[in-house]
Chains A and B, each alone.
Chain A
Amino acid sequence: MWRDAALVAGRDLRLELRSRVGMNQVAPFAVLVLVLFAFALDTEGGVLQRTAPGLFWVAVLLSALLAIQRSAGLDAPDGVRDALRLSGLDPAGVFLGKVAAVAVQLAALEVLLGVGVVVLYDVELGGLWTLLATAVTATVGLAAAGTLYGVLAAGLRVRETLLPLLLLPVVAPVLIAATRASEAALEGVALDVAPADWLRLLVVFAVIYVAFGVAAYGPLLEEA
């Protein structure tokens, strides 16, 4: 399973490097979202600074949709899906590999958006360890849920429009928990009860979706 996961992750990342979709489309889109938030909200009175964690995670979520659509689309063509089924790859390994590749792309996006929030919204970073723990757990959860719903929608003709409808409600807990934990970190609150609870929620979400994906990806790939 791990060997197959590494093989698939390497393939997906190589495909991204070759196609440059992430660099040329998803990353500019993410930055554009941050800029539009800055245009839409009052820059006076510290509104952007106060809402920065929420805006950051909304931008991550919207950009993640593009990355997840792209990841699901790689294996969507009929011939590729058949070849994947015939390949002998462990479906659990395929799932974990795709999750890893999406997570790497999301992590790169989060670094870019983090820089964007500091520069555009004039936010001072604090509570770096809490921020890091939030980013890691939220990223794994988003990647796992996105990959799972990506294959669920893969066989449908309307997958491009259906995937956001399926995914956004499901990942709402990630948005809420990641925003609250980030707010606590930026306000300098120690990792005590409040942010720790939100982090626990993120961990539980990630564990549930990784475990469910490992078990369900094979049957879903067959049905796609």
Chain B
Amino acid sequence: MDPAVHLRGAVCLLGRFPALAGADLDVDPGEVVLLRGPNGAGKTTLLRALAGLLPVTRGEAVVLGHDLVRDRKAVRPHVGYLGHSPGLYDDLTVRDNLRFWARAGRHELGDALDRAGVDARLHGVQVARLSAGQRRRVALAALLVRRPRLWLLDEPHAALDAPGRDLVDGLVRDAAAGGATVLVASHELDRARSLADRAVVVAGGTVEPEAANVA
């Protein structure tokens, strides 16, 4: 079985700075992997590179069978990326935001808002009026609409209350059970460890296996 993510000596430059400096990583389909490491270690860069948002300039980088070095755009339709910023238009309502992103990717809106725990009373409310946690849930709903094969989650528990954090964990488990691969960058190690099959350490732009598996 081909890995969902395969990196060998992957280099990703931010300007002249090698934010990924020869990263090695293999992740199997359906696996949930925790990325841990200090601030500035390269976790976000790694996730953005895997999403095809940043160019991998050297080394091998194959995600879901797509060679990122040759064509990083090809993988994008299959990826769901939850970054630090929610990726929503403040002046549009929750429903209009989701409709736009669903139509843009030729997806169905379906029950994504309900699955992300967005209260029905908020569907017609402008995103600008939502709390940070509510925005996070809407961003999660936008990710669910894409039905991605690879989930790339950057601090997915940030700004969420306890039920919201449980909901994220449940969605990740469901996604993995359905065959999706999940990479989670998190500083909430206890929670993320309970979610992940294993953890890797990102430091100085490289990826190393953690001393022991966490499953």
Nearest-neighbour CB distance to chain B for A77, whole angstroms, equals: 6
Besides A79-B85, A86-B79, A86-B146, 20 other A-B contacts (C-beta < 8 A):
A11-B89, A11-B92, A15-B89, A77-B87, A79-B86, A79-B88, A79-B139, A80-B88, A82-B48, A82-B83, A83-B101, A86-B53, A86-B76, A86-B77, A86-B81, A87-B101, A87-B104, A88-B104, A88-B106, A89-B104
Task: For B96, list chain A residues within 8 Å (CB).
Answer: 14
Which of A51-85 touch B at CB < 8 Å? Answer: 74, 77-80, 82-83, 85
Write the residues of chain A forming the contact surface with B, with a CB cutoff of 8 angstroms.
4, 7, 11, 14-15, 18-19, 74, 77-80, 82-83, 85-89
Does any Cβ of A come within 8 Å of B70's Cβ? no
Kindly report which residue of chain A lies nearest to residue B51, judged by CB atoms: A86
Give the interface residue-count category, chain B: 20 to 34
CB pair B85 A4 closer than 8 Å: no
CB pair A88 B105 closer than 8 Å: yes
Does any Cβ of A come within 8 Å of B8's Cβ? no
Task: For A78, list chain B residues within 8 Å (CB).
Answer: 83-85
CA distance A114 to B79 in the complex (A): 49
CA distance A7 to B107 in the complex (A): 14
Task: For B101, list chain A residues within 8 Å (CB).
Answer: 83, 87
User: B87: which of A7, A19, A82 is its contact (CB, 8 Å)?
Assistant: A82
CA distance A80 to B138 in the complex (A): 13
CB pair A80 B104 closer than 8 Å: no
Task: For B139, list chain A residues within 8 Å (CB).
Answer: 79
Does any Cβ of A come within 8 Å of B142's Cβ? yes
CB pair B87 A83 closer than 8 Å: yes
CA distance A88 to B168 in the complex (A): 25
Task: For A79, list chain B residues within 8 Å (CB).
Answer: 83-88, 139
Task: For A82, list chain B residues within 8 Å (CB).
Answer: 48, 51, 53, 81, 83, 85, 87
Nearest-neighbour CB distance to chain A for B126, whole angstroms, equals: 7
Task: For A89, list chain B residues within 8 Å (CB).
Answer: 104
CB pair B53 A77 closer than 8 Å: no
Task: For A11, list chain B residues within 8 Å (CB).
Answer: 89, 92, 100
